């Protein structure tokens, strides 16, 4: 049994595309599966460069995917590699956070984690970087807004599901997702802007 395309070319039953013109053929009825003709001798096979299906010698188009079997092979495209990113700040450097508008420095030396937020004695919250005296509440800084941590040899910042979000270089970071910090990065918590420094 064979299948004909609209041009009248005969194709083996179960072919998805015409062997002569590449026209898509009607799909087989669901549940019946494609019936493939008996395989010709091994030496008479052409392997489709697109899908890897075997096709009888002399066929112009792959009966499985419709690729032109007579087309010249496509040259491999060179793999593009991204330019190396600037190195993240390592935990061995003298890291600190600057509140430049107030000329205040918060030293991170010797800390593996530093909470940034606003002090609240009632809730027993005493952040390492307390922005309460620096308009933290008016600036939208949460009590437990974010944290800086040293992990795997580098510094990272993590938003702690804050209401007013955390931004690194004007890009909002996803909550609970540590984001690498580099020397000179701007950190914005709500409307309060800090600067991360290691040099």
User: CATH code at 146?
Assistant: 2.60.200.20
DSSP letter, residue 150? E
Would the pLDDT of 40 be above 50? Answer: no
End position of a domain, from candidates 19, 42, 74: 74
Instruction: Check residues 129 and 33 and name the one with the higher pLDDT.
Output: 129
Residues in Cβ contact with 122 at an 8 Å cutoff, skipping those fewer than 6 apart: none
Shared domain check, 124 and 70 = no
Collapsing DSSP states into helix, strand and coil, what is residue 147?
strand
Shared domain check, 191 and 113 = yes
Shared domain check, 183 and 131 = yes
Beta-strand pair 144-151/113-117? antiparallel
Domain assignment of residue 112, yes or no = yes
Read off the pLDDT of residues 140-170 as tens digits, 9 standing for 90 and up.
999 999 999 987 779 999 999 999 999 999 9
Would the pLDDT of 118 be above 80? Answer: yes
Shared domain check, 101 and 65 = no
Shared domain check, 101 and 192 = yes
Shared domain check, 190 and 106 = yes
Report the domain count for the chain.
2
CA distance 163 to 82: 34
The whole domain housing 182 covers 96-197
Read off the pLDDT of residues 60-82 as tens digits, 9 standing for 90 and up.
777 776 777 777 665 555 544 55
Shared domain check, 175 and 106 = yes
Shared domain check, 113 and 192 = yes
Own/partner contacts of 132-135, CB < 8 Å, gap of 24 or more, are: 134/99, 134/101, 134/102, 134/104, 134/192, 135/192
């Amino acid at each position: 049994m064979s299948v004909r395309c609209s041009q009248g070319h005969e194709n083996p039953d179960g072919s998805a595309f015409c062997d002569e013109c590449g026209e898509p053929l009607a799909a087989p009825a669901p549940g019946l599966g494609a019936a493939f003709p008996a395989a010709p001798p091994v030496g008479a096979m052409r392997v489709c460069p697109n899908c890897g299906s075997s096709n009888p010698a002399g066929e112009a188009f792959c009966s499985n995917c419709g690729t032109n079997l007579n087309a010249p092979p496509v040259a491999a495209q060179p793999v593009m590699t991204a330019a190396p990113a600037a190195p993240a700040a390592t935990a061995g450097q003298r890291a600190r956070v600057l509140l430049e508008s107030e000329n205040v420095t918060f030293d991170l030396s010797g800390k593996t984690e530093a909470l940034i937020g606003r002090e609240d004695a009632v809730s027993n919250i005493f952040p390492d970087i307390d922005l309460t005296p620096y308009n933290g509440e008016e600036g939208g800084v949460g009590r437990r807004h974010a944290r800086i941590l040293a992990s795997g040899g580098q510094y990272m910042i993590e938003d702690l599901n804050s209401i007013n979000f955390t931004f690194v270089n004007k890009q909002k970071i996803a909550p609970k997702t540590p984001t690498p910090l580099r020397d000179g990065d701007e950190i914005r918590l709500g409307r309060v802007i800090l600067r991360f420094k290691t040099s």
